């Protein structure tokens, strides 16, 4: 090792050397690397390489040695003066560690890779795709392969990237601060895909924070480990051009939408292999044909963004830009989505911009300040979930969330985002007592900044991705959720109809003896059914936390439970609104959902459960083939009550009508009583043909069917001049095609 001789003149003062060696220097790019010699004569190269035994400098132009560097501090500070050199040049190090020689390219020899425009647009909140350069990206710089790390931490005194590549030593790769934006970056040569890393941050007072995962990280270690991972550029070759080209047509309001909601970790597991998850590839092989055979038009996955705690089901994400590694790589997730599309199945995912967890490696107090969240817990803390709330008024946070929405649509061809917990975002007093929240500037309870964020995301997604669906899980009467932004709405395409779900479940759980007193719970939804564009959700939330499964909610003996479930699902499928059913409901799962195990697939060996599966399959087939049942889901012109006043017998009759006039009449008899000669009014003279009956024997019913064409009669009922007489099966919903005839 080259040592200083007595005549050597130090070019740095002791304080500067100590700051570099202790990782306290705030601008190491001004010290390390290649610089003009302080004397003005020649150049000097400085390096900080802890524990190096010796360092030799080589020029990359001719590859010859320029000399052995002098160790000027035992902590690992080296430098070499080049008095004859006048022009800057490329160089590399040859470093000896533990007796082994390694070639190193100096990260401090590489200038800034960020443009002024990137810094400006990020700070302004108008960059829709910051994910393309924030985070960790492999790239080549001047022929040198490595990874560019970029992170936002404006209040930090120092930010370093740490990983196996530098022995998790925060002194080694201290990043460059771009003061205009608060962004730190560094290009680290030799770091390739698969490397794990975190950010080591000193707050504004120089206090070390817990190591932080990358907010824009594209990959993560397997939980419970929490490091981010450098990922390679996508290598998947998409084969869904046909799907993508027609998506804006197939996802219109007047098209059928039947959604199978699922939790990837518990749809199916491998009990014989330690109860392991299915991979994305295995899900493509097993889930896709299953959903296709059932006839659902879309799947909706509970959050797939990386999350630390299995019990959160993904609703407390830390890695918003990373498909969870639990089931495979990002390219394998692309393969899964591609497989869905090639089978004609759309893919929706839950998106969680409402809050994030307090895990110390996450976004909370990221640079020692409330960076992503509000400082005041009355605005920045969710008491229900022990989570933090984004500061939606901060432009950089808007960039983060908007870019995340675009990321899933760009990188994974996702067909829609179901936005979680919208109600908690809209109201400042959500789940808070008096004095626990701060009114907005007008003294109101609306979160104006969150509203503006949702409007911005919905508008920009709509402009950039025609046909992509934005769906709100919103449980209040907030006006205009699905109205366009330019008329004051939030700009969503659909809203979950939580009121319909609560009312109808409350009704169907009652003993049929008492249903006559609560029939308004079935009919009330039609009072507001067209005030928004609705999805009717029977989601995971209704079959967990002691609520029991859908089948378990049903009253009566075993036969009646299955009959009630068949009738309820059929009521839903024939009611205005798009459909969503959580996994297991399609075959009558008996136990409530448990995220730690598979659905009870063995139940399909029972005819009763297999009958429910066949029922759902046939309901989807009926829906897809019947424009009357979907074309006017969002318009009152497609619905009409034919009989609403027979609560005593718990019977309802209504019609659905397509834009071209195709009409289907639906009856619902919600008691076990058969009505063999039941009369109701019809729109005009005509004939009825039964095309669906939830009491059919193939579903496990008593097979009380109408097998003959039914002629309408000129007999007034319910104020209508014509009526029809049909047989109403017990605890059943029946669908009839209606064709009007003209008088001879």
Residue 4's pLDDT band (boundaries 50, 70, 90)? low
Contacts of 349 (CB under 8 A, 6+ apart): 300, 301, 303, 304, 408, 414, 416, 417, 418
Q: What are the pLDDT digits (tens) for 670-727?
A: 999 999 999 999 999 999 999 999 999 999 999 999 999 999 999 999 999 999 999 9
Q: Mean pLDDT across the chain, nearest whole number?
A: 95
CA distance 172 to 155: 21
Residue 1: is its pLDDT beyond 60?
A: no
Residue 7's pLDDT band (boundaries 50, 70, 90)? low
- Counts of helices then strands in the chain (DSSP H, E): 15, 38
Contacts of 229 (CB under 8 A, 6+ apart): 194, 195, 196, 197, 217, 218, 219, 220, 221, 325
Task: Name the catalytic one among 128, 420, 592, 618.
Answer: 420
| Helix runs in 393-497, H state only | 395-412, 422-426, 448-464
Q: What are the pLDDT digits (tens) for 588-634?
A: 999 999 999 999 999 999 999 999 999 999 999 999 999 999 999 99
- pLDDT value at position 161? 98
Task: Name the catalytic one among 240, 473, 586, 618.
Answer: 473
Fold of 116-229: Immunoglobulin-like (2.60.40)
CA distance 521 to 538: 16
Q: What are the pLDDT digits (tens) for 313-354?
A: 999 999 999 999 999 999 999 999 999 999 999 999 999 999
CA distance 378 to 370: 13
Ramachandran region, residue 600 (left: φ > 0; alpha: ψ -120 to 50; beta: rest): beta
Q: What are the pLDDT digits (tens) for 638-676?
A: 999 999 999 999 999 999 999 999 999 999 999 999 999
Residue 285: is its pLDDT beyond 70?
A: yes
Contact 323, 412 (CB under 8 A): yes
420 tagged catalytic: yes
3-state DSSP call for residue 305? strand
Contact 155, 371 (CB under 8 A): yes
Residue 386: is its pLDDT beyond 80?
A: yes
473 tagged catalytic: yes
Q: What are the pLDDT digits (tens) for 191-249?
A: 999 999 999 999 999 999 999 999 999 999 999 999 999 999 999 999 999 999 999 99
Q: What are the pLDDT digits (tens) for 48-73?
A: 999 999 999 999 876 789 999 999 99
Contact 159, 187 (CB under 8 A): no
- Of 38 and 628, which is predicted with more confidence? 628
Contacts of 688 (CB under 8 A, 6+ apart): 665, 682, 706, 709, 710, 712, 724, 726, 736, 737, 738
Please tell me the CATH superfamily of domain 14-109, with its number: Immunoglobulins (2.60.40.10)
pLDDT, mean of residues 499-520: 97
Contacts of 284 (CB under 8 A, 6+ apart): 335, 336, 339, 340
- Give the residue carrying structure tokens 């196996």: 164
Domain boundaries, the chain: 14-109, 116-229, 635-740
CA distance 730 to 7: 105
Q: What are the pLDDT digits (tens) for 254-271?
A: 999 999 999 999 999 999
CA distance 348 to 640: 31
- Of 40 and 417, which is predicted with more confidence? 417
Q: What are the pLDDT digits (tens) for 401-454?
A: 999 999 999 999 999 999 999 999 999 999 999 999 999 999 999 999 999 999
> What CATH number is given for 635-740 in this structure?
2.60.40.1180
Does this chain's domain 14-109 share its CATH topology with 116-229?
yes
- pLDDT value at position 744? 47
- pLDDT value at position 399? 93
């Amino acid at each position: 090792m080259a040592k200083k001789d007595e005549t050597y003149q130090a070019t740095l003062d002791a304080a500067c050397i100590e700051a570099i060696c202790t990782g306290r220097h705030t601008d190491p790019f001004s010290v390390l690397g290649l610089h003009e010699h302080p004397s003005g004569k020649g150049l000097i190269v400085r390096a900080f390489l802890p524990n190096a035994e010796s360092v030799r400098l080589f020029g990359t132009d001719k590859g010859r040695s320029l000399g052995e560097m002098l160790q000027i501090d035992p902590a690992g500070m080296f430098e070499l003066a080049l008095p004859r050199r006048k022009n800057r040049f490329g160089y590399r190090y040859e470093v000896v560690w533990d007796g082994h020689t390694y070639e190193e390219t100096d990260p401090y020899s590489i200038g800034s890779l960020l443009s002024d425009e990137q810094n400006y647009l990020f700070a302004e909140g108008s960059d829709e795709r910051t994910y393309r350069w924030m985070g960790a990206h492999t790239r080549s710089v001047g022929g040198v392969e490595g990874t560019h790390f970029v992170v936002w931490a404006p209040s930090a005194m120092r930010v370093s990237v740490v990983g196996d590549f530098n022995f998790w030593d925060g002194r080694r790769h201290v990043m460059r601060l771009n003061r205009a934006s608060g962004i730190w970056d560094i290009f680290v040569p030799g770091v390739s895909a698969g490397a794990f890393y975190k950010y080591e941050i000193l707050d504004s007072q120089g206090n070390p924070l817990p190591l932080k995962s990358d907010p824009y990280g594209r990959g993560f270690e397997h939980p419970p480990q929490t490091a981010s991972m450098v990922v390679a550029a996508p290598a998947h070759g998409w084969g869904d051009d046909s799907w993508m080209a027609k998506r804006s047509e197939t996802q219109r309001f007047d098209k059928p939408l039947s959604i199978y909601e699922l939790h990837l970790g518990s749809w199916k597991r491998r009990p014989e292999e330690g109860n392991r998850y299915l991979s994305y590839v295995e899900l493509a092989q097993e889930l896709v044909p299953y959903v296709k055979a059932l006839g659902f038009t879309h799947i909706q996955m509970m959050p797939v963004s990386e999350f630390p705690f299995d019990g959160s089901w993904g609703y407390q994400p830390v890695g918003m830009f990373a498909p969870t590694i639990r089931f495979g790589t990002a390219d394998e997730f692309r393969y899964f989505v591609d497989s869905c599309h090639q089978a004609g199945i759309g893919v929706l995912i839950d998106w969680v911009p409402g809050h994030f967890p307090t895990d110390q490696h996450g976004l909370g107090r990221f640079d020692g300040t409330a960076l992503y969240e509000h400082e005041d817990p009355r605005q920045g803390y969710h008491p229900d979930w022990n989570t933090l709330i984004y500061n939606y008024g901060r432009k950089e946070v808007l960039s983060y969330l908007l870019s995340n929405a675009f990321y899933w649509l760009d990188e994974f061809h996702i067909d829609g985002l179901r936005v979680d917990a919208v109600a908690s975002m809209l109201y400042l007093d959500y789940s808070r007592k008096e004095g626990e929240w701060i009114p907005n500037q007008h003294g109101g309870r609306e979160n104006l900044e969150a509203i503006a964020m949702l409007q911005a995301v919905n508008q920009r997604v709509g402009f950039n991705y025609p046909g992509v669906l934005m769906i709100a899980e919103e449980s209040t009467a907030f006006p205009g959720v699905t109205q366009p932004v330019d008329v004051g709405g939030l700009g969503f395409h659909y809203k979950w109809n939580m009121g319909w779900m609560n009312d109808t479940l409350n009704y169907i759980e009652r003993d049929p003896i008492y249903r006559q007193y609560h029939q308004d719970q079935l009919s009330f939804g039609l009072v507001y059914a067209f005030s928004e564009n609705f999805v009717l959700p029977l989601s995971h939330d209704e079959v967990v936390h002691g609520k029991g499964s859908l089948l378990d909610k049903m009253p009566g003996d075993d036969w009646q439970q299955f009959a009630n479930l068949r009738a309820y699902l059929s009521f839903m499928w024939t009611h205005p609104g798009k459909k969503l059913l959580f996994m297991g409901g399609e075959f009558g799962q008996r136990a409530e959902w448990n995220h730690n195990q598979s659905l009870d697939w063995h139940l399909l060996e029972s005819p009763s459960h297999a009958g429910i599966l066949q029922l759902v399959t046939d309901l989807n087939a009926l829906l897809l083939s019947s424009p009357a049942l979907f074309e006017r889901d969002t318009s009152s012109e497609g619905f009409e009550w034919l009989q609403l006043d027979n609560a005593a017998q718990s019977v309802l009759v209504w019609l659905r009508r397509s834009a071209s006039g195709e009409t289907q009449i639906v009856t619902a008899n919600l008691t076990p009583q058969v009505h063999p000669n039941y009369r109701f009014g019809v729109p005009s003279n005509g004939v009825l043909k039964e095309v669906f009956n939830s009491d059919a024997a193939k579903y496990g019913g008593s097979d009380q069917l109408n097998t003959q064409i039914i002629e309408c009669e000129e007999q007034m009922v319910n104020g209508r001049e014509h009526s029809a007489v049909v047989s109403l099966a017990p605890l059943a919903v029946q669908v009839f095609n209606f064709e009007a005839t003209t008088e001879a």
